[in-house]
Amino acid sequence: MSAPQPASRLRRLALVAPEGRKIVLGILLIVLVLFGQQLYGRATAYWRLDPTLRDASGPRNVVVVLDFMPDRFHGERVSQYGVFAGRDGALNRIRLRNVSPDSLARLAGVAWVARIEPLP
Amino acid sequence: MSIATIPPGPAGHPQARRTLHQVVWRLLPLAPFAFVVLAWAAYWTIAQPTAATLPAVHDVVAAVWDLAAKGELATHVLASLWRLLLGALLGILTGVIGGFVVGLNRSVSAFLSPLIVFFNAISGIVWLPLVIGWLGIGTALAVFLIWNTVFFIVFQNTVLGVQLVPQVFEQGVQALGGGRWETIRSVILPGALPYILTGVRSGLGFGWRALIAAELVGATTGLGQMIFGATEFHRSDIIIGGCLIIGTIAMAMDRWLLLPIERRTIERWGLVFDATKEK
Amino acid sequence: MSMVSATSASTGLSRPASGPAIVWRQLRAFRILLPFVALVGVWWAIYASADFSPQVLVSPLAVWRAFVNLVTHGVMAEYASTSLRMIGFATALSLIVGVPIGFAVGVNRYAAHTLESFLRFLQGISGIAWLPLAIIWFGFSHTTTLVIVIYTLIVPIIFNTMIGVRAIPETYTLALRSLGASRLRLVRDVYLPGALPSIVVGLRLGMGYGWRALIAAEMLVRQGGLGDLIFGARTFGQIDRIMTGMIVIGCLYIVVDRLIVQPIENLTVAHWGALRQ
């Protein structure tokens, strides 16, 4: 194929540009759906943890506080981070025992958790 | 649409050779089916899987025969076909009429276009959880889902067909003194017909698939229900038999009912049409 | 599948952003949103006109609230991600496996003729019909869903790749071969570009089938995903959740189909479409 003339190159670019924009927008939206909430959760993880828990060195017992009445879905997800130990008074306060520092860090990154308090 | 309908004839060969070639050409499409059956039988003999995992070929045949003898098979097939017929007829009628009404009016079609695109995106089985609450399990649900599937395909193709009729033809009829109805009847209808028929053919294919999916979840009879019900009892022979029947009906419907209709109508109206555009 | 609109000036050339052009573009977004606003209005009117039980119809506001809830509670993100990952993975696998098969079959006229009817038959047995068998083999797991979606995707891809390859005029392949081109060179310079528009059409078709099959499979397998979400909501009669789920399903499909796959299709046809003439 011969080298494209400058005029046809511009024309080709003009044809490509609107389609390219759509593709970029589409990919951005999909990435937002896939990772948006996760990234938000990780960005705000620091404030989710109670100050006393922020330098956890060993396994801790915590109360996971939610802003809403949880479904079974939320109970299942939270239980992955530690040993489920019942409610802490209200239905939206979940007790977890033996949460390793690693799990605690990951739990703090969950966007729909309101805050994590220590279990006395 | 066939990739190559004319078998390549070797030039300069005697008549007998060419006929043999044509016969072989005709038989070739059967080869993959035969291969699958043979491989299946071979695997079964060698590996001896459990009946639930992979039944023997003769088991499947026996199961289908058994169902046919008991009359159950006929019940299921007729139930499914009946639902397809109802839903498809409704879908085609509403699709064509709606397509004409919308297609003839450019501003209306431009306005409705985003809505159509959206509802097409959720057409079919996605409506099931919602509609099952309105219509319950059974024929009404299946007919709704088929109507939904067929309508959008036929509608879109009709609008496309109507709008693609070259304006010069419409103007020609009007110049000769024809009114609106005359224009529609003699120019737009024949012009849009190939697209409509492609839509019908495509819609029926989708509709059959949607029907099976609907019956899997929400029916008491029908082929989809037959194979899903068999899951509970691990009757793989019924399941495989059912799937093969589903495929056969789909193929038979397409090749011996729809394709000839489409071809003959196009031949009759003598319109050139790109048959590779399957929506 | 957009309808032909006389108003869409499809010259394909977009002007550099200037005052009037920006207004035109914003008007276009408005024109896309207006029908939906009208629809919501009609919906509201219907809802307000009679006393519907919440099992039959809910107000648009209730659906919005359900959406906000599902998002803030993290439910929507997870279920939507499951579905998206599944379709993405299935698409990638189907392309990797399907396109080479399509090529291998397409280059030989006899192979193509042999497999054509078989592929059509497989397509007639939609992926969903195989779901019961897949459940027996793989149980109620993600593997089951993946197998079904791949099956649904791969058949149109193989078929269309085959068609694409067969549609390449023999003069091109013969010309390059007479110049001494290797097989690989042929694939790269003639087959791949020549078949690409058809492959992308097959991909788009397959993804349409595949997304539907995915939702249906998720409804039955119930291991996460949007199909699971709306079917599960049915058990509790949560119409607001069901409708939210349906809207999200539609929107996600439109984003993937219109903003990603269709532009790719347009680009390949524009770039290489001339080869098919």
Sign, CA dihedral C48-B152-B76-B54, equals negative
Q: What is the pLDDT of residues A65-84, one digit of tens each?
A: 998 998 888 988 999 888 88
* CATH number of the domain bearing residue A112: 3.30.70
With respect to residue A86, please indicate whether it lies within any of the assigned structural domains.
yes
Backbone angles phi, psi at B10, to 5 degrees: -70, 130
Tens of pLDDT, residues B58-111: 888 888 888 888 888 888 889 899 999 999 999 999 999 999 888 888 888 889
Q: What pLDDT is stored for residue C217 in this prediction?
A: 93
Closest CA to B184 of B100, B106, B256: B100
Among the listed residues A66, A68, A63, the one whose alpha carbon sits nearest the alpha carbon of residue A86: A63
Reported confidence tier of residue C141, pLDDT bands at 50, 70, 90: very high
What pLDDT does B23 receive? 85
pLDDT at B8: 58
Global confidence as pTM: 0.85
Smallest Cα distance from C46 to chain A, Å: 31
Does B121 reach chain C within 8 Å, measured CB to CB? yes
Chain C residues with CB under 8 Å of B251 CB are 117, 120-121, 124
Interface of B with C in 54-83 (CB under 8 A): none
**pLDDT, position B179:** 73
Q: Which tens digits make up the pLDDT trace of B102-138?
A: 888 888 888 999 999 999 999 888 999 999 888 888 8
Q: What chain A residue is nearest to C255 in terms of C-alpha separation?
A: A26
Confidence at residue C109, expressed as pLDDT on a 0 to 100 scale: 83
Over its length of 120 residues, how does chain A's per-residue pLDDT go in tens digits?
Answer: 455 555 677 777 766 778 888 899 999 999 999 999 999 999 998 888 888 888 778 888 889 999 899 888 898 899 988 888 888 888 889 998 888 888 888 998 999 999 888 887
Give the CATH H-level superfamily of domain B54-269: MetI-like (1.10.3720.10)
A71, part of any domain: yes
Chains B & C: contacts with CB separation below 8 Å: 195
Contact list in C for residue B230 (CB cut-off 8 A) is: 132
* pLDDT cut 70: percent of chain A above it: 91
In 3D space, the residue among C72, C39, C70 whose CA is nearest the CA of residue C233 turns out to be C70
Q: Do A30 and C73 touch (CB under 8 A)?
A: no
CB–CB of B212/C129 below 8 Å? yes
Percentage of chain B modeled with pLDDT above 70: 89
Q: Which residue has the tokens 């770039």?
A: C271
Please tell me the total count of domains within chain A.
Answer: 1
Q: Is C1 on the interface with B (CB under 8 A)?
A: yes
| CA-based R_g, chain A, Å | 23
Element holding A66 (H helix, E strand)? strand A60-66
CB of B110 within 8 Å of a chain C CB? The answer is yes
- Collect all residues of chain B within an 8 Å Cβ-Cβ radius of residue C40: none
Tell me whether residues B216 and C212 touch, CB distance under 8 A. no
Asked if C260 and A23 come within 8 Å (Cβ–Cβ), the reply is yes
B6 touching C, CB under 8 A? Answer: no
A4 close contact with C: CB closer than 8 A: no
Placement of tokens 């952003």 in the chain: C17
Q: For all residues of chain A together, what is the average pLDDT? A: 85
DSSP secondary structure letter of residue A49: B
- Minimum distance, in Å, between the CA of residue C130 and any CA atom of chain B: 7
Task: For residue A38, tell me if it sits in a domain.
Answer: no
User: How is chain B split into domains, by residue range?
Assistant: 1-48, 54-269
Residue with tokens 């097409």: B120
Whether A31 is covered by a domain: the verdict is no
| Whether the predicted pLDDT of C246 surpasses 70 | yes
Looking at the complex, does the CB of residue A54 fall below 8 Å from at least one CB of chain C?
A: no
Give the rounded distance of the alpha carbon of B28 from its chain centre: 24
Residue C114 has what pLDDT?
87
Would the pLDDT of C6 be above 60? no
Task: Name every chain B residue with its beta carbon within 8 A of the beta carbon of C33.
Answer: 114
Is residue C249 over pLDDT 90?
yes
Average pLDDT rounded to a whole number, residues C86-107: 92
- Mean pLDDT, rounded, of chain B: 82
Query: For residue B88, what pLDDT is reported?
Result: 93
| Rama region for A93: left / alpha / beta (φ>0; ψ in -120 to 50; rest) | beta
Residue A11 counted as domain residue: no
Within 8 A of C256 by CB-CB distance, chain A residues are 26, 30
Confirm whether A51 is domain-assigned. yes
pLDDT of residue C5: 36
Chain C interface includes A9 (CB < 8 A): no
Q: Is the pLDDT of residue C9 over 50?
A: no
Q: What is the per-residue pLDDT across C19-68, written as a single tens digit (0 to 9) for each?
A: 666 665 667 778 888 899 999 999 999 888 887 787 788 889 999 999 99
Q: Is C10 touching B (CB cutoff 8 A)?
A: no
Contact flag C260-A73 (C-beta cutoff 8 Å): no
Shortest CA gap A59–chain C (Å): 26
Q: Provide the residue range defining the domain that includes A107.
A: 45-118
* Domain assignment present for A57: yes
Percentage of chain C surpassing pLDDT 90?
A: 45
Percent of chain C with pLDDT over 70: 88
pLDDT score for B122: 92
Amino acid (1-letter code) at residue C272: W
Between residues B237 and B268, the one the model is more confident about: B237
Distances (CA, A) of B228 to B224, C150, C156: 6, 20, 25
Contacts of B176 (CB under 8 A, 6+ apart): none
* ipTM of model: 0.84
Give the tens place of pLDDT for each residue, C154-182.
999 999 999 888 888 777 777 777 777 77
Across the interface, do C233 and B3 touch by the CB < 8 Å criterion? no
Under 8 Å CB pairs connecting chains A and C tally to 69
Chain B environment of C220 (Cβ under 8 Å):
216-217
Q: Does C123 touch chain A (CB under 8 A)?
A: no
Contact C60, C43 (CB under 8 A): yes
CA distance C257 to C269: 16
Asked if chain B contacts chain C via 3 or more Cβ pairs within 8 Å, the reply is: yes
Q: How large is the average pLDDT for residues C136-146?
A: 91
Chains that touch B (3 or more CB pairs under 8 A): C
Own/partner pairs, A33-41, CB within 8 angstroms, 24+ separation? A33/C77, A33/C80, A33/C81, A33/C84, A33/C252, A34/C81, A34/C84, A34/C85, A36/C77, A37/A111, A37/A112, A37/C71, A37/C74, A37/C77, A38/A109, A38/A111, A38/C77, A40/A111, A41/A109, A41/A110, A41/A111, A41/A112, A41/A113
